[in-house]
Chain A
Amino acid sequence: MKTLRLFLTLALLAMTLYAQGLDPNSIKLFQPLPGTWPTYNGDYSGRRFSELKQINANNIELLKIDWMYRIRGIGPQRGVGDPVIKSTPLLHNGILYFTIPDYIFAVNARTGEQLWQYEFKDEGGHLVGQRGVGMYKDWLYFESPDGWFISLEAKTGKERWRKKIADEKQQYFTTMAPLIVKNHVIIGVGGDAMDVRGYLESRDPETGELQWRWYTTPEKMGDPGSETWPDLDAMHHGGGMTWMPGTYDPELNLIYWGTGNANPVFAGQSRKGANLWTACIVALNPDTGKLVWYFQPSPHDTHDWDNVETPVLFDATINGQPRKLLAQAARAGWFFVLDRVTGKNIVSKPFTGTGNWAKGVDAKGQPIPDPAKEPGVDGTMIDMPAMGATNWQPPSYSPLTELFYFTGTEGYGLSYLYDTSPKPQGYGGGSGGNFDTRASLFAMDVRTGQVKWKHTHAGGGGGASGLSSGLLTTAGNLLFAGEFGELLAFDPATGKPLWHQRLTGNVSNGPSTWMLDGKQYLIVGAGDTLYALTLAGKTPAANNNLSSNK
């Protein structure tokens, strides 16, 4: 009888836990709580650093695959081939939620057993990626490829409502993971084939109604920023997509977002000027959608260099002063460190080649593009890959090493201008070749912008395609990254490879980690399969998930 009562109590406890929704106020700037991964980046900072250290540099040899979940029965997706997991799974109350375009999966985090699967029938849009769901209380939020913003019940995957947020017929598409800040669901859009205008929206988590919309280009001539455009037509067809989740500082009450390249993409002749606020890092008030400051890593972009790479928030001491900082490794090939209160620049430095598309930096620390290095009819070469030196893959910052980590590519690239008319449209050009392309894992000194160490794959980097994963650092003195079909662990201080595990494909998302029942899990997606790894053959020591946040 006593046993039965205990069982009932536990069952009730489990049910209670299950029914307990995610309170956005429980999400911290730094650190997911040990048994959670409540946002795309795990916390609001985008550091992708975990205090967990049950899995650590001393026992990494014991890290083994615990379970695998393979996506089955979906087959090739329109225009892109077999399913690829680019989303970082959310973990709440022992359930993982992850996505591919048109699909959401809910899986038992301890076993890999599927609870439910949600399928959406799209009528257009790109299936190039899906970054994941957002969660608020008992609800999930998801973007379909063709511009639907959908709320679902987390318990069942049943749809609650949907709202149209972008028109796929105009070539918008929607892939990002919603970011939930207080009672705001913040969602962005993608699409640069047809010179549409980028925007970021905040919507009510209960009703889906619009709270605010912030356009990435000014509204009318004469408004601040319009001086960087020749006319209204160019400004309203100027691009600047918002296709990656941003970060948030609760104390400053600012969200930080990267905006995409300007349009027409390679043909800049009809949009002379810096083209604000495309290819920027912007700080907005999440309650009003008002711009507080901006910094532009690729002014007047003509190379398709979306500046959507995660703006990572961290605190560090600079010249004896404790500072609130933001760092970004930009697709334009430069590394930036800013004061996240003011947007004032601390570091601007090319990490690949010499940054020869720019003639230097302006007073704000922003690169000054060299018109001679814009795409030309007979090709213009720059000393970095034409399509960019890094991309959306999540970077990481460790407060233990005070280094910023990302996957970057070096080499040379030729870019061409095709549409020479005074009113070009669409891409209007393209990248025509990449030479001596080498992908590496970079560790940056955040005070100087110097490369502290760099790890190039033993095969010579072999192009950029094999280094397609995001990164994770942990207090176990580990840095996790994917390389050509393997998951690797590195010493974050030196870049020495410590451990590797072959998977069935290239790591395709950002690895994440959390603790359940005293066991630390490492979660990583590779193509159509999600892997959970744990320490095998050894009872984990108790209480080693506690450590002070430096």
Chain B
Amino acid sequence: MNMREFLGLGPAPNPELAKKGEPLYLQNCSGCHGKDARGAQAPGLTRMPLVVSDYKGENMLPALKEGRTGMPAFPQLSKEDVLNISQWLQLQVELAANRGTYGGTYGNLRNQVTGDPKKGETFFAANCTTCHSATGDLAKVGAKFPQVAQLKNRFLWPTTPGPAKAKVTTADGKIVEGRVKANNDFEISLTDAQGNYHYFQRQAVKVEIEDKLTGHRALLPKYSDADINNMAAYLVNLK
């Protein structure tokens, strides 16, 4: 899904022009409106209706030519300058309003390691080693999930792609095992290892669905936020 399209934002800012607009903004406007255009002694611009709806500088041009209450005129700015400044301001609007851009802006922030790896190792030894090993299945896990936020999601709840395995026992004791296709309160259907399709009415059979995540489920209520960060700090170093 294209977030910009979903949000119905107006025409996208032109990044080339915005680049030219940035020094013009810093030189002429930032003293009063703030370096980030979010306001200082003069109001912020990025949430101002006049600016937000100003896709090509058409609103700003008369305001800058003639000045406004509390703002002098800027006759030295050409039409092109105003267009460039408007594109830089539109880009600031975009970076706040379009959450589709957050990954690019804040990716590094989500990657920072704040926990204590020593404490993470202790937590791991106490809670995880029945099923996992830092030198076995989790060796190099830090290389597999270089982004810390992703690594956290992985160890907190490692959802495995693909359908779950189920075992169905019929009334006469016949056992069918396979991957779940459909499963609701009334019916279950499976595909077995040979690719055969099986359908059962649930009331007539016993159904057991494999759950590999019991250990992870039991840990979720135990974690403190510090535990999660310590575990991440420990695991990300397994490279």
Contacts and interface: CB of A to CB of B under 8 A. Distances in A.
Interface string A359-402: 00000000000001000111111010000000000000000000
Nearest to A124: B8
Interface in A456-500: 457-460, 483-484, 486, 488, 497, 500
B184 to A, nearest CB: 5
Contacts of A434: 157
Contacts of B38: 421, 423, 425
B78 interface: no
B1 interface: yes
B190 interface: no
B96 A459 contact: no
Contacts of A79: 1-3, 5-8
B80 interface: no
Interface size class of B (residues with CB under 8 A): 35 or more
A435 B102 contact: no
Given A79-B5, A488-B185, A427 B99 contact: yes
Given A168-B8, A169-B53, A412-B220, A193 B106 contact: no
Contacts of A78: 5-6, 8
Per DSSP, chain A at the interface is loop
Interface stretch (B42-50, B67-75, B130-138, B171-179): B42-50
Interface in B216-239: 216-217, 220-221, 223, 225, 228-229
Interface string B154-183: 001100000000000000000000001001
A436 B102 CA distance: 26
Contact of B157 (A167, A419, A436): A436
Interface string B40-60: 000110110100110000000
B44 A194 contact: no
B153 to A, nearest CB: 4
B223 to A, nearest CB: 6
Contacts of B102: 418, 427, 430
Interface in A161-184: 167-171, 173
Contacts of B220: 383, 412, 435-436
A125 interface: yes
Contacts of A408: none
A197 to B, nearest CB: 10
Contacts of A81: 1
Contacts of A195: 47
Contacts of A171: 7, 9, 52, 97
Of B44, B47, B149, the most chain A CB neighbours within 10 A belong to: B47
B8 to A, nearest CB: 4
Interface string A539-550: 000000000000
A173 B105 CA distance: 25
Nearest to A356: B221
Contact of B109 (A145, A372, A418): A418
Contact of B44 (A168, A233, A378, A418): A233
Given A412-B156, A460-B209, A193 B221 contact: no
A333 to B, nearest CB: 15
Interface in B72-108: 93, 96-99, 102, 105-106
Interface string B16-53: 00000000000000000000101100011011010011
A459 B184 contact: yes
Contact of A423 (B2, B39, B156, B213): B39
Contact of A377 (B6, B112, B157): B112
Given A233-B43, A423-B38, 15 more contacts: A79-B7, A127-B8, A128-B6, A167-B49, A194-B52, A194-B93, A379-B228, A412-B157, A414-B228, A421-B38, A425-B97, A427-B102, A435-B153, A459-B183, A483-B185
Interface of B: 1-3, 5-10, 36, 38-39, 43-44, 46-47, 49, 52-53, 93, 96-99, 102, 105-106, 109-110, 112, 114-115, 148-149, 152-153, 156-157, 180, 183-186, 188, 202, 207, 209, 213, 216-217, 220-221, 223, 225, 228-229
20 contacts: A124-B8, A124-B10, A167-B53, A169-B52, A193-B7, A193-B97, A194-B47, A237-B47, A378-B229, A414-B153, A414-B156, A416-B149, A418-B102, A425-B47, A425-B97, A430-B99, A432-B149, A432-B152, A435-B156, A458-B188
Interface of A: 78-81, 122, 124-128, 145-146, 167-171, 173, 193-196, 233, 237, 372, 376-381, 383, 412, 414, 416, 418-421, 423, 425-428, 430, 432-436, 457-460, 483-484, 486, 488, 497, 500
Across the A-B interface, the 5 shortest Cβ-Cβ residue pairs: A79-B6, A435-B157, A426-B96, A425-B96, A124-B8
